[in-house]
Amino acid sequence: MISRRRALTGAAGLAALGACSPGQAGLLTEADVHRAGFPTVEAVKWMGGEIEKATGGRYRLKQYPSGQLGAEDDSIGLARFGAVDFARVNFAAVNNLVPETRVLCLPFAVDSMDHLHRAVDSDVGAQIRAAFDRVGLVGLAIYDAGARCFYNVRGPITHPRDLKGLKIRSPMSDVFLHAFAAMGANPTPLAVNGVFQALSTHLIDGAENNWPTFETARHLEMAHYWSETQHSYSPEILTMSKERFQALVPADRDIVVDAAQRSVPKMREHWAKFSDESKAKALAVGIKVNDADRAAFRETVSAVIERETKDATLAALYKKVRDLSG
């Protein structure tokens, strides 16, 4: 968990970038580790435009993409302490902070993008978003992040035995660390914006993520083997500082919530197109893609799922997610 001192340090960085004070009416700020043009960044940009129109220009959005304000842990800490208004992070970044998010990160909990959409559009998604209230955040919208697959510098990964001994970057989440270890890998916790350098210096042998991150973060320059494990569909969460949200008048709160919710279908449409384009770019430069024995991988993590769903709340959420499988 990010400390208050670390959050305030980030706030100083925000001021150094030339932004107005977070408490100044008229300016809304947002942090994202992805670059401009990435679907999450574009969805929030669209939301900002809708807020600006609905408030007659009283509020406008200033974004800080490309990790300008730090890693995802930094972003979520800045939002919790009101140093920025919005932060978009992957569920993996808040697994330890908001346990309910762990359910949608569990290996093989979600079978497909359609299954994920059914889950997050149901009371499962509403319950997870509401859980952010406990930690000083408002859960506004859940965005896509595609199927996560392994990629590495050594060779094809078709079976868990192929992961044995490989140093694989893991999000800084117990769910992912335990799952990768159970699959046979040597999990190495690392922020996503450190993966390129870690691959370049051979600190790690590989990582796992979606096609857009693999391509836009240039991981494909070192890791030439992509394996279709599709072991997780860990989505994204757009949050807002609870302090800043409550400082808005009720009508403006409604505008923010409405714009965030309407940004979801925009994001999904952009994500599907962007993901296909990223995959095509990767294949064009010679990335080798192989199928994987997903049943074998699923078998290795049964104990992880059992341990993670011992809590009654998480067990009930997990059952709802699996019941929504096609």
**How do residues 64-100 score in pLDDT, each as one tens digit?**
999 999 989 999 999 999 999 999 999 999 999 999 9
| Residue 29 shares a structural domain with residue 171 | no
Distance CA 203, CA 229 (A): 23
Give mean pLDDT, residues 40-48: 97
Q: Which residue has the higher pLDDT, 326 or 273?
A: 273
Distance CA 285, CA 224 (A): 9
Distance CA 209, CA 34 (A): 13
Quick one: tokens of 172? 């800084």
Are 304 and 184 a contacting pair, CB within 8 Å?
no
| Residue 96 shares a structural domain with residue 229 | no
Look over the chain and give the mean of its residue pLDDT values, rounded to a whole number.
Answer: 92
| Residue 257 shares a structural domain with residue 203 | no
Q: Is 54 helix (H, G, I), strand (E, B) or coil?
A: helix
Phi first, then psi: give them for residue 223, nearest 5 degrees: -95, 105
Quick one: tokens of 154? 């050594």
Are 19 and 27 a contacting pair, CB within 8 Å?
yes
Distance CA 237, CA 82 (A): 17
Q: Residue holding tokens 């990790």?
A: 67
| Residue 83 shares a structural domain with residue 10 | yes
Distance CA 209, CA 72 (A): 15
Q: Is 283 part of a structural domain of the chain? A: yes
How is the beta sheet containing 148-152 ordered, strand by strand?
186-189, 167-170, 206-209, 148-152, 225-232, 288-291
pLDDT at 11: 47
| Residue 40 shares a structural domain with residue 121 | yes
| Residue 219 shares a structural domain with residue 242 | no
Quick one: tokens of 193? 């914006």
Q: Is 324 part of a structural domain of the chain? A: no
Q: Is 198 part of a structural domain of the chain? A: yes
Number of domains in the chain: 2
Nearest to 22 by CA among 82, 88, 86: 82
Are 119 and 104 a contacting pair, CB within 8 Å?
yes
With a cut of 70, say whether residue 1 has pLDDT above it. Answer: no
Quick one: tokens of 281? 């770019």
| Residue 108 shares a structural domain with residue 181 | no
Nearest to 284 by CA among 228, 227, 215, 219: 215
**Residue 68 burial by Cβ neighbours in a 10 Å radius (0-12, 13-18, 19+):** middle
Q: Is 61 part of a structural domain of the chain? A: yes
| Residue 128 shares a structural domain with residue 23 | yes
pLDDT in tens, 186-198: 999 998 889 999 9
Distance CA 305, CA 325 (A): 17
Q: Is 270 part of a structural domain of the chain? A: no
Confidence of residue 326 (pLDDT cuts 50, 70, 90): confident
Beta bridge partners of 152: 206, 225
Task: Tell me the helix, strand and coil percentages in the chain, rounded to 5.
Answer: 50, 15, 30
pTM of the model: 0.90
Alpha helices in 55-141 (DSSP H): 72-80, 113-120, 123-131
Give mean pLDDT, residues 278-301: 97
| Residue 119 shares a structural domain with residue 243 | yes
Q: Is 164 part of a structural domain of the chain? A: yes
From residue 325, how far is each of 116, 117, 299 by CA, in Å? 9, 10, 18
Q: Is 86 part of a structural domain of the chain? A: yes
CATH code of the domain containing 84:
3.40.190.170
Beta bridge partners of 227: 150, 290
| Residue 16 shares a structural domain with residue 116 | yes
| Residue 194 shares a structural domain with residue 291 | yes
Q: Is 51 part of a structural domain of the chain? A: yes
With a cut of 80, say whether residue 323 has pLDDT above it. Answer: yes
| Residue 40 shares a structural domain with residue 130 | yes
Q: Residue holding tokens 């916790």?
A: 189
Range of the domain at 183: 148-233+278-317
